[in-house]
Amino acid sequence: MGIFVAKTKDDNEHWYKIIDQVINDELSEIVLDDAVAYDPNNTEANQWFKIDGFDQKEGFLPLLAQQINAADLDNLEREQYDNIEFIAFFDRGRYFMQKITRGNYLKKKWFSWDGDILRYQEDEGIIYINPIPNCIYDTSSKVIYFMDIAKAYGIFSSLKMDYQVATDDETNRFLQSDIVDAKTLPMDKVGVSNRKRITSILTKYEAYSLKEKATLKEYIKKSVGGNLDFDDKAGKFLVNTDTQLRLLLYGIQQRFYMPPLEDEVQVATSSTGISKVV
């Protein structure tokens, strides 16, 4: 038996219980043995895909690390229903997640006969549960499964950034921005991984104020040390290689931190020292 829980739009810390002690054969009996590693070029229909190590991905929800205990959860109140972001069926260590949209709310009206009297009736509305979830997360293997990555985006928009590559125009826009001097780095030498990073940060960086950009530059200078030269007059980091560009993009993503007992700055999501990156 499993439990249905909800995540609300304004709360990333708590699951709310909808109902427990539920048997949902459609979800519990989904077979994932034939799932294959996700490849954006694989468009095979009715195929389950998977991404390993999802707990290490940017955008992973700490909520998914929880083994749910129904007794510890607050009930979802009626007034919270309009604020549901997604629901999940949790059973045997797996979260079966479904994005809640306007289309999932059904409110039916009908006519019925009561003897010779025709009655007009209306229910209070229901939430429709899809037989195939947007995605499934296995808490033991740390693997996320999905059939359609576009639907998985509905739960984890960060997945889009993992597989969306910046266009030439976007790449060039960044290389000519006010944080980087990349005159000696041809655009065709910018690798796929860095183009994905550019996609994830470009719009956000461009929206920063001058004060925020100055703060960010100081953070990067302090973090990368002598691994990136900085032109004080131009206010730009000098980037000559794709590796140096990666270091700068890590900085813009604010992924550096200094462990309290270590001498070297590390990349937060991988706990890798900068010396191993450059």
Tokens of 220: 């990067």
Give the distance from CA 26 to its chain's centroid. 26
Looking at residue 103, its pLDDT comes to 61
Would you list the domain boundaries of the chain?
A: 2-102+129-156, 164-276
Nearest alpha-carbon partner for 149 in 275, 29, 51: 51
Beta strands in the chain, from DSSP E residues, in sequence order: 2-8, 16-22, 36-37, 49-51, 74-75, 84-91, 94-99, 105-106, 109-114, 117-122, 126-127, 135-138, 143-146, 180-181, 229-231, 236-238, 256-257, 266-267, 272-273
- The confidence score (pLDDT) of residue 170 equals 92
Name the residue among 107, 102, 98 with its Cα closest to residue 130. Answer: 98
Estimate the crossing angle of helix 242-252 against helix 192-206, to 10 degrees.
40
The one-digit pLDDT tens for each residue of the chain (278 residues) are: 899 999 998 888 899 999 999 999 999 899 999 999 887 767 788 899 999 989 888 778 888 987 788 889 999 888 888 889 999 999 999 999 999 876 666 566 767 777 778 877 666 666 778 899 999 999 999 999 999 988 998 898 877 666 677 889 999 999 999 999 999 999 999 998 899 889 878 888 999 999 999 999 999 999 998 899 999 999 999 999 999 999 999 999 888 887 776 778 877 655 567 777 67
Taking the CA atoms of residue 25, residue 28, residue 32 and residue 37 in that order, the dihedral angle to the nearest 10 degrees is 130
Residues 223, 233 contacting (CB under 8 angstroms): no
User: Cα dihedral sign for 146, 152, 158, 258?
Assistant: negative
Quote the tokens at residue 93.
Answer: 């260590």
pTM for the model: 0.58
Phi, psi of 211 (to 5 degrees): -65, -40
- DSSP-based helix, strand, coil % in the chain, nearest 5: 35, 25, 40
Going from the C-alpha of 58 to that of each of 33, 54, 152, 158, 203, the distances in angstroms are 26, 9, 14, 7, 17
Contact 97, 134 (CB under 8 A): yes
- Alpha helices by DSSP H, listed for the chain, are 25-28, 149-152, 158-163, 168-175, 192-206, 210-224, 242-252
Q: How many whole angstroms separate alpha carbon 151 and alpha carbon 60? A: 16
Q: Are 81 and 99 in contact (CB under 8 A)?
A: no
Note the pLDDT of residue 223: 92
Query: Residue 96 has what pLDDT?
Result: 97
